[in-house]
Structure 1
């Protein structure tokens, strides 16, 4: 299994009590855990209305009530043994959270412990994240278990030392594979598989008894094992969703520039549909093989969503912008289905975005089709024949066609009539501007 980290800087803006100024920092090192919603003994108080224990309010609260099932509590000395005294050549990555080390927890670390490869993330007290994010990750991953969430094995909370111990993900982050200039091994079928797993992780969070908003979906936070199974990692920014008659959670704006939903940036109103927008950005990056934000591209292409979304339902122009490393690996029907899904997820109207459960259903059909196509290709190649799965889209000068083949006009702006236009300058200004401390939920 693998660990997620990013060696490349990213724009990550947050207004928190620890950082009242605009910050430009590196991605936090990340590791993912498995998720099936389990109950555990209460931590920090009585159980919440959802049946899950309330999160610890602070470090002392956690230390006095360490009640997470299947999560070990390690000492700092044990972590030193697991990493060979935090040897420099054991470093896997470094980000806003701190340094990430590879390690092994075995009998030399703790008597009777089965040898387990791990990734150990150590909080830098002077970094961009602090105890609040550290506690959030312990809380969510301590309670949630699912095949598409990274597994939290344990943590260390001694004096000034804050460490998190995760399962080791052998292929690392999606980011390092997707944006590799040479030697990319991410085929169309692998990308569909990864997208499906990420969607399943989000659908699980959104459908939990008390919904959870992930809030930081990006390629750096998706980890891959040796079979390209994907898991969500880094729950430091996760947030409980609205409950009762609430329609949203009102909170400070946090996340990664380029992935944040426009309405969340503009108003601070957070919903599960904010995650759906981030998933749309992820799909777009996987289709095009380009980063969400990249100022090295031509000016009009700096923001991938603004440039590419209007082309997603244009069956003549779309094939020209798809990642050329996937040539011959997909059918026009499959391509248009994914493009249409990304188009819907990126709607500027939150109500126009699909639920993640629907996204899973769509991607499931693509995965099944992809498996059948790979089998056909394998049979043909074994007979010395070749086949091209990609088909040139028919010309359509009068408009575009949706997945069902029905003709529809494409608004010149790339938006549906019901979607309001959002000024880009205002969008960026709102994202990086200071805001008041986190308000109460409404």
Structure 2
């Protein structure tokens, strides 16, 4: 912009100097105004040779003719300067318009290409939800048309419900006649549900990890909010452990694999996200399993980024039985709060019991309180293991897992290990084909008994 104005300013300055410069051919014509003299003095040297040559070829007594010709020269000069000014102003306007148009078209093309890659129907968020359209450097969150979700879930039929949460249900759906998805429907009539919706969409759009659920898109319809995920065909760990099958499909190696997968997901949140993310609601219902029992963490509505620094401003939330004592009593939230919850999940995998069991209408018992005295007693430990997996594991491995669980559920947070340490303890206990480093030796064929010649 400045470069375009410089030539125009230079022409205007020369015009002004010509207008105020005295006629050099007139004898005795000197500037009487000191201010005018000060302006014309610095430029007298470059102009004087031209002026003197003009005086040489001017006949004596032709001052009036000379003034008239000077005026005639100024008229084309003024017209030229005006034309130049119009040209430069036109160029300036075109340049500004081009810059704005180029920025908008680039932005639109970037968004459309990103949305096209998702293969989903996109649309803008309305009103106050514009803040979550953005979410990361990779582009806007894919927004799926509500009618597509309505059709894909058969108008949110009850028989398609595959899970239930505090603010709504999760439905099984099908998009484009091929893509199976899970659709979480949230009733956002209150601010808490609305905040969880925005929080989960924002966090999951930034996170990509094999052990964390994949966000496919979201949608808005009235007071309802929808989050669309990849479908995990084996449901939640809670359903597998405490549902009709009572864990019959979960062998000891599979349980250790699930624990390892969950630890890897937590390690990514704690160690590799910037700022670190605390899940804050880790439990078996939020650990989802695919057809091969690969585990992924889900439900990030309560998750917080940099929670250790912002714990004073965070409302106390969580699920009874999984909430760490320091967070429950003092509101102190750290990554060790997730470690405690992971320890409770590990106990569920070991013992096949729920985190809190009702002993009577007025009395409940925590799995931590019940199990801790027996977990450290090697003579009692094999007797409290889930009957489905009893006697199916190496006792050394059982003792190791129990020791890890005991450390994770310590009342004092500083006594609990980091999730990275937990991960390193579990890797050697999981077979290689399931993601660990344990090499399982297959039993060889029984040796044949030699037969003596006399028989």
TM over 0.5: yes
User: Which of 79, 84, 103 is equivalent to 2:154?
Assistant: 84
User: Which of 108, 129, 137 is equivalent to 1:60?
Assistant: 129
Q: Is the 8 A contact 2:200 2:299 kept in 1?
A: yes
- For 1:158-207, what per-residue CA distance to the aligned partner results, in whole angstroms no more than 9, with x for missing partners? 44331010000000000011124546111110110000000000110001
Query: Aligned-residue CA RMSD in angstroms?
Result: 3.1
Q: Is the 8 A contact 2:211 2:262 kept in 1?
A: yes
Q: Which of 1 and 2 has greater Rg?
A: 2
Q: Distance in 2 between matches of 1:128 and 1:308?
A: 38
Range with bigger deviation, 177-186 or 295-304: 295-304
Q: Is the 8 A contact 1:59 1:135 kept in 2?
A: no
Give the structure with the higher percent helix: 2
Report the secondary structure of 1:121's partner residue: strand
The corresponding residue for 1:75 is 145
Return the offset for 1:299. Answer: 9.6
Report the secondary structure of 1:155's partner residue: strand
Q: Is the 8 A contact 1:344 1:352 kept in 2?
A: yes
Q: Distance in 2 between matches of 1:328 and 1:384?
A: 25
TM-score, normalised relative to structure 2: 0.64
Pairing of 1:31-50 with structure 2 (within 5 A): none
Return the offset for 1:264. Answer: 0.5
Matched, 1:258 2:308: no
Q: Distance in 2 between matches of 1:355 and 1:275?
A: 10
- For 1:245-291, what per-residue CA distance to the aligned partner results, in whole angstroms no more than 9, with x for missing partners? x4965522110001000000111110000000001111111111000
Pairing of 1:298-377 with structure 2 (within 5 A): 302-368=365-431, 375-376=440-441
Return the offset for 1:354. Answer: 0.5
Matched, 1:229 2:294: yes
The corresponding residue for 1:166 is 229
The corresponding residue for 2:23 is none
Q: Distance in 2 between matches of 1:296 and 1:366?
A: 34
Matched, 1:294 2:357: yes
Q: Distance in 2 between matches of 1:127 and 1:287?
A: 38
Range with bigger deviation, 324-333 or 189-198: 324-333
Matched, 1:217 2:282: yes
Q: Distance in 1 between matches of 2:262 and 2:218?
A: 25
Q: Relative contact order (alpha carbons < 8 A, sep ≥ 6): 1 or 2 greater?
A: 1
TM-score, normalised relative to structure 1: 0.66
Q: Is the 8 A contact 1:71 1:152 kept in 2?
A: no
Return the offset for 1:83. Answer: 1.7
Return the offset for 1:310. Answer: 2.2
Return the offset for 1:62. Answer: 2.8
Return the offset for 1:80. Answer: 1.3
Return the offset for 1:65. Answer: 3.8
Q: Is the 8 A contact 1:155 1:163 kept in 2?
A: yes
The corresponding residue for 1:97 is 167
Return the offset for 1:130. Answer: 1.0
Q: 1:64 to 1:332 in 2, by over 3 A?
A: closer
| Count of residue pairs the alignment pairs up | 320
Report the secondary structure of 1:228's partner residue: coil
Report the secondary structure of 1:260's partner residue: coil
Q: Distance in 2 between matches of 1:198 and 1:373?
A: 18
Q: Distance in 2 between matches of 1:358 and 1:230?
A: 19
Report the secondary structure of 1:142's partner residue: helix
Report the secondary structure of 1:153's partner residue: strand
Q: 1:247 to 1:84 in 2, by over 3 A?
A: closer
Q: Distance in 1 between matches of 2:135 and 2:278?
A: 24
Return the offset for 1:82. Answer: 1.7
Q: 1:75 to 1:161 in 2, by over 3 A?
A: farther
Report the secondary structure of 1:341's partner residue: helix
